[in-house]
Amino acid sequence: MLTELRVKNLALIEEEDILFGQGLNILTGETGAGKSIILGALSLALGGKSDKGMLRDDARDALVEATFTVNEQERQALLQLDLEPYEDQIILTRKISRERAVARINGETVPAPKLKQAGEILLDIYGQKEHQSLLSVKKHMELLDEFAKKQLSEVLPQLKESYETYKRLKKELSEANLDEGEREREKSFLELEISQIQEAELKEGEDEALEDAYRRMANGEKIQESISLAQNLLNAQDGCLEQLGRSIRQLHSVGEYDERIRQIASALSDSESIALDAARDLTSLSDELEYDPTEFERIRQRLDLINSLKSKFGSQIKDVLLALEEKQQKLEKLSDYDSYLEDLKNRMQKAKGQLEVLCEKAEVIRRAAAEDLSEKVKQALLSLNFLQVSFSMELTRGDYTEKGWDQGQFMISVNPGEPLRPLVQIASGGEMSRIMLALKTVLAGQDDIQTMIFDEIDSGISGRTATAVGKMLSSVAKQHQVILITHLPQIAARSDRHFLIEKEAEAGSTVSSIRPLDEDGVLKELSRMLGGEELTQAVLDNAKELREKAREQ
The domains of the chain are located at: 1-128+456-517, 185-334
Tell me the average pLDDT of the chain: 84
Assign 553 a pLDDT band (cuts: 50, 70, 90): low
Comparing 60-74, 182-196, 348-362, 486-500, the range with the smallest average pLDDT is: 182-196
Mean of the pLDDT values across residues 304-327?
88
Q: Give DSSP secondary structure letters for 417-429.
A: TPPPEEHHHH--H
Examine the pLDDT at 63 and tell me if it is beyond 80.
yes
pLDDT of residue 220: 67
Mean of the pLDDT values across residues 434-460?
78
pLDDT of residue 180: 60
Give the phi and the psi of residue 492 in degrees, each rounded to 5.
Answer: -60, -30
Q: Sign of dihedral through CA atoms 524, 530, 536, 539?
A: negative
pTM of the model: 0.64
Q: 490-501: per-residue pLDDT in tens?
A: 889 999 999 998
Mean of the pLDDT values across residues 4-23?
88
Please list the residues that pair with 149 across neighbouring strands: none
pLDDT of residue 291: 64
Mean of the pLDDT values across residues 422-426?
82
Examine the pLDDT at 51 and tell me if it is beyond 80.
no
- Which of 17-21, 110-114, 447-451 reaches the highest mean pLDDT? 17-21
pLDDT of residue 507: 67
Q: Give DSSP secondary structure letters for 95-152.
A: EE-SS-EEEEETTEEE-HHHHHHHHHHHEEEE-TTGGGGGGSHHHHHHHHHHHTHHHH
Cα 463 from Cα 457, distance rounded (Å): 15
Examine the pLDDT at 459 and tell me if it is beyond 70.
no
CATH architecture, range 1-128+456-517: 3-Layer(aba) Sandwich (3.40)
Position 317, amino acid: I
Mean of the pLDDT values across residues 502-513?
78
Please list the residues that pair with 408 across neighbouring strands: 395
pLDDT of residue 415: 79
pLDDT of residue 185: 81
Mean of the pLDDT values across residues 444-467?
76
Better pLDDT: 282 or 64: 64
